[in-house]
Structure 1
Amino acid sequence: MTGHRRGAGGAGGAPRRAGSRSRARSPWAAGSDTATGQGRRRQRRVLVLGAVGAALAVVLLAVSVIVFTGGDDGPPTTHPTTTGVSWASGANANPPNDLGAWEQWVGRPTDIAILFTARTNWETVTQADWPMSDFRDYPGALSIAQPLFPRGSNEAACARGEYDGHWRDFGNTLLRNGRPDAIVRLGWEFNGDWFRDWLPRDSGTWKVCFTRAAAALRSTAPQVKIEWNMTAHRDTMENGDGVWEAYPGDDVVDIIGIDAYDSSPASMTQKIFNEQCNRPSGVCTVARFAREHGKQLAVAEWGLDRRASAGGGGDNPFYIEKMYEFFLANRDILAYEAYYSASPDENDNVASSLHNPATNPDSARRYLELFGGPRRPATGTSGAAR
């Protein structure tokens, strides 16, 4: 569950996404297929969002976020006895990923698609119809990764309101493409060092920037959901502040999110998984915070990591099991989760693919056993519904 997202080649580094690449035609594409889009570099940006019931009717009996099986130092002695998903589950849709083929493989429709805009300039970030136009006929929800600002801009100007107009433009872009209720991951993975354009220089200024961008976006798209999204395994930001120093406030954020890949350290034992899960930038900590603040939880990107330079666990079905248990235990607040299945052209990325190609066959089998097949009843879940 840990994809420390560093630049390419760094130990524990985040996988890089390819720069600009041609788009693969989506099965739901409504627009032309001539535009190019910038991939989500460094981490797997995948699809997501689903039409799963939105009623939070479950009373939790414990404050603990997750129940794990097995001893601390070895593999679990028991395995999950429940299979199937009863929450909003998806996968990455661009960089090019054949979502239709993924759905056929998994044996059920996806609920949400993870998208990444081209980060070239303000026009591609906030005014271009792509990639949303390719998903106008997609019945699930969209989770869109957006930089707080493109290269050449800065958090101080953002905090002064100089970019508010751009975010109002993006709200209109969502409306124009029939996605007024999209989930937007503003400044995602801000605590890594791979997306250097929008990592916090001054935490206070960055929070003001985030707040202004969210408010401007909501002024034209009031139904939009704002997700504050960190990366796992990065407790401290590059400016020296703890990751939670960048939280802009409950009045700004709808969903608390984290991206997690199996690296630095890889979860090869129960003890390691528990330790990384409960560190400040661990998924268990994020889930607890979401509960305490009355927010929904999201894991927009999660997956395996085969990079030796990042301490990746490779083909590790144990990690698939642990994440399934985590989602099951937190399904009452889980807005969505999405597996990032890195495409073949992402050779410098995490090599997390489970299907087409089946880079990790043991984990692919375990994923199908746990996540595959018809959806279970959504009792007690709170998925992000269209």
Structure 2
Amino acid sequence: MAPQQRRAPSRRLAVVTAAAVAMTAALASGPGFAAGAGVARVAAPSPGPSPEPLPGPLPEPATAPTSGPTPESTPGPPTPTAAPAAEQSPAAPEAPQAPGADPVQSPAAAAPGGGAEPAPPAAPGTAFGAYLDYGPLGVARIAQLSAWLDGTELRVGHTYLPGDRWSNIEGRPGFLDAWANWRGEKADRMLVLNVPMLERNEAGVSDGEVRVLLRLGAAGAFDRHFRRLAERLVGLNAPDTVIVLGWEMNGTTYTHRCGPDPEAWKAYWNRIVTTMRAVPGQKFTFDFTPNRGLDAVAWTRCYPGDDTVDVIGMDSYDQPTGMPFDRQVKEPYGLQAHVDFARSHGKPISYPEWGLFRNGDNPEYMRSMLGWIGEHRPLYNTLTDYCPHGVWQCGQNPMASHVYRSLLSGRPEEPTTAPTTAPTPASTTAPTTAPTSAPATPLVAGSTSAPATPLVAGPTTAPATPLVAGSTPPQAPASMASQQNTGCPKLDLGDWVERWIGGKLCLPADRWSRGR
């Protein structure tokens, strides 16, 4: 994982006003507006060398172009995998289907009894966060990212269990403590934990061996490992953890992939869920999360059934090269198909992994994906914040970073309601140094064994909030209520956007008139 971190570039009122107007038009146009990019993603982060320090501030764009340079594919954090796939979208029947893929039923046909689609459960509110590092460093960076967003609270903490050996998949003592403690500090926080289904999860295991392992798992050979994990989570007072089990199973990156034997995979998933639910005190939520699009196998073939799935998620990155966002929505097994499939099964949706990728620094993708999230209100979403996907720890995406920060800064702490005025965020002072190492990842691709405990490359203390060299710490904005009579223009972003961000966006002249 290479988290090059930086602050958003300095802004002046004229630039911000122009950008805000363009942003308003984009958001008002809905999810199909952007001419974004494609459908795939970099592999999850593995412990690696420290990144090169950021050379200096990146120039601020005067306008937000519709596309950016395409970054080279680079190894990613500990969990992302090959290109995300998604279920076929009913809106794009003309799209070709890969040989051997099962046809996708329409949501109505997939619904129990073949009748009208059941309404999705009411969403209590969209919680968001970001993947920042898999260990304690990731916990520390949550507050730093919140400060960069002018006090907006991140209610989701996201991490991954190492998939190198069973002892780590069990949640080795000490590994999850910091995350469980963070979760327990506030009642409305959510801990999202990606859990591999097999050891040697990135070791390039053959399809034949995967098939054997899946069948062994379905027969109960690995029950004890998941029982131990459940007991540890309950013992850490994190019994309501969201378990993203066997993620991106429709691809080829992980040993826990579905393609070699979909029926054995589904039986094994059901066995794991049943085992973990049998542990006294558990309140786990199980999230079934494939890649977006048609990958090695149609992800609908891997769906294990409504009884053992609580949330239907999707990992969705801006790829492949040249694919605009509206095609990411309409492609077979894409974003719309995901929403329709979840609705037909009466399940909430989630986006455990999403971010930039093949289309480079793409502000239109960022606007459109945030708009899609705001419209469809998933249970939670977590941006993958390392290069090339991220916006805070990655300095190569300044335009998309500007969009993300502008839309999410200063949001109210309680996203379940839309207060008439936003609370005043606590004043924070950000350090002026940037991290010197990338967050490590719990998985070591290709390894057959792992150290006794996951290693974190670099410093043992959390890095300071990333700032561009020579910049001054951000100042917490005054509350919207206090700005009503101070010459603070409010922007009309549309009803659904204002509901999501908790009120109208206010751009006080005194805040933006000085460079940062």
C-alpha distance in structure 2 between counterparts of 1:2 and 1:186, whole Å: 25
What are the ranges of 5 or more consecutive residues in structure 2 without an aligned counterpart?
1-36, 51-75, 83-116, 120-124, 419-495, 501-516
Shift of 1:197: 4.4
SS at match of 2:238: coil
* Superposition pairs of residues 84-99 of structure 1, within 5 angstroms: 87-95=126-134, 96-97=137-138, 98-99=141-142
Asked whether the 8 Å contact 2:312–2:349 carries over to 1, the reply is yes
Shift of 1:370: 1.5
**CA shift digits 1:249-296 (9 cap, x unpaired):** 1111000011111111445xxxx3222212233122111111121101
* Superposition pairs of residues 117-196 of structure 1, within 5 angstroms: 117-138=161-182, 139=186, 140-151=189-200, 154-196=213-255
Counterpart of 2:490 in structure 1 is none
Asked whether the 8 Å contact 2:81–2:248 carries over to 1, the reply is no
Q: TM-score, normalization: structure 1?
A: 0.70
Counterpart of 2:269 in structure 1 is 210
SS at match of 2:254: coil
- Give the partner amino acid of 2:272: A
- Give the partner amino acid of 1:288: D
C-alpha distance in structure 2 between counterparts of 1:316 and 1:94, whole Å: 23
- Give the partner amino acid of 1:180: P
**CA shift digits 1:49-83 (9 cap, x unpaired):** xxxxxxxxxxxxxx9x9xxxxxxxxxxxxxxxxxx
Shift of 1:16: 4.9
The answer as to 2:359 corresponding to 1:317 is no
SS at match of 1:184: strand
Asked whether the 8 Å contact 1:4–1:192 carries over to 2, the reply is no
SS at match of 2:244: strand
The answer as to 2:354 corresponding to 1:302 is yes
| 1:289 maps to which of 334, 341, 352 | 341
- Give the partner amino acid of 1:225: T
C-alpha distance in structure 2 between counterparts of 1:324 and 1:227, whole Å: 21
Structure 2 CA distance for partners of 1:19 and 1:352, relative to 1, 3 Å: same
Counterpart of 2:40 in structure 1 is 4
Shift of 1:313: 0.9
SS at match of 1:251: helix
Which stretch of the first structure deviates more once superposed, 274-283 or 321-330?
A: 274-283
Asked whether the 8 Å contact 1:20–1:39 carries over to 2, the reply is no
SS at match of 2:239: coil
C-alpha distance in structure 2 between counterparts of 1:296 and 1:319, whole Å: 23
Q: Point out the structure with max Rg over C-alpha.
A: 2
C-alpha distance in structure 2 between counterparts of 1:205 and 1:377, whole Å: 40
Structure 2 CA distance for partners of 1:165 and 1:223, relative to 1, 3 Å: same
- Root-mean-square deviation (Å): 2.9
What are the ranges of 5 or more consecutive residues in structure 1 without an aligned counterpart?
6-13, 23-37, 45-62, 66-85, 306-311, 343-349
- Give the partner amino acid of 1:257: G
- Higher strand proportion (structure 1 or 2): 1
The answer as to 2:409 corresponding to 1:372 is yes
Q: What fraction of aligned residue pairs are identical, expressed as a percent?
A: 24
Which stretch of the first structure deviates more once superposed, 201-210 or 102-111?
A: 102-111
Shift of 1:316: 0.6
**CA shift digits 1:157-190 (9 cap, x unpaired):** 0011111121111110111221100000110011
SS at match of 1:17: coil
Which stretch of the first structure deviates more once superposed, 90-99 or 141-150?
A: 90-99
* Superposition pairs of residues 51-70 of structure 1, within 5 angstroms: none
Structure 2 CA distance for partners of 1:134 and 1:21, relative to 1, 3 Å: farther
C-alpha distance in structure 2 between counterparts of 1:379 and 1:208, whole Å: 40
- Give the partner amino acid of 1:212: R
SS at match of 1:302: strand
The answer as to 2:363 corresponding to 1:335 is no
Shift of 1:378: 2.1
Asked whether the 8 Å contact 1:147–1:198 carries over to 2, the reply is no
Shift of 1:217: 1.0
Q: TM-score, normalization: structure 2?
A: 0.53
Counterpart of 1:260 in structure 2 is 316
Which stretch of the first structure deviates more once superposed, 98-107 or 109-118?
A: 98-107
Asked whether the 8 Å contact 2:38–2:359 carries over to 1, the reply is no
Which stretch of the first structure deviates more once superposed, 369-378 or 205-214?
A: 369-378
The size of the alignment, in residue pairs, is: 298
Structure 2 CA distance for partners of 1:94 and 1:236, relative to 1, 3 Å: same
Which stretch of the first structure deviates more once superposed, 352-361 or 179-188?
A: 352-361
SS at match of 2:393: coil
C-alpha distance in structure 1 between counterparts of 2:307 and 2:129, whole Å: 27
C-alpha distance in structure 2 between counterparts of 1:286 and 1:260, whole Å: 11
| 1:18 maps to which of 46, 52, 61 | 46
C-alpha distance in structure 1 between counterparts of 2:174 and 2:38, whole Å: 29
Asked whether the 8 Å contact 1:352–1:359 carries over to 2, the reply is no
Counterpart of 2:143 in structure 1 is 100
Shift of 1:379: 4.0
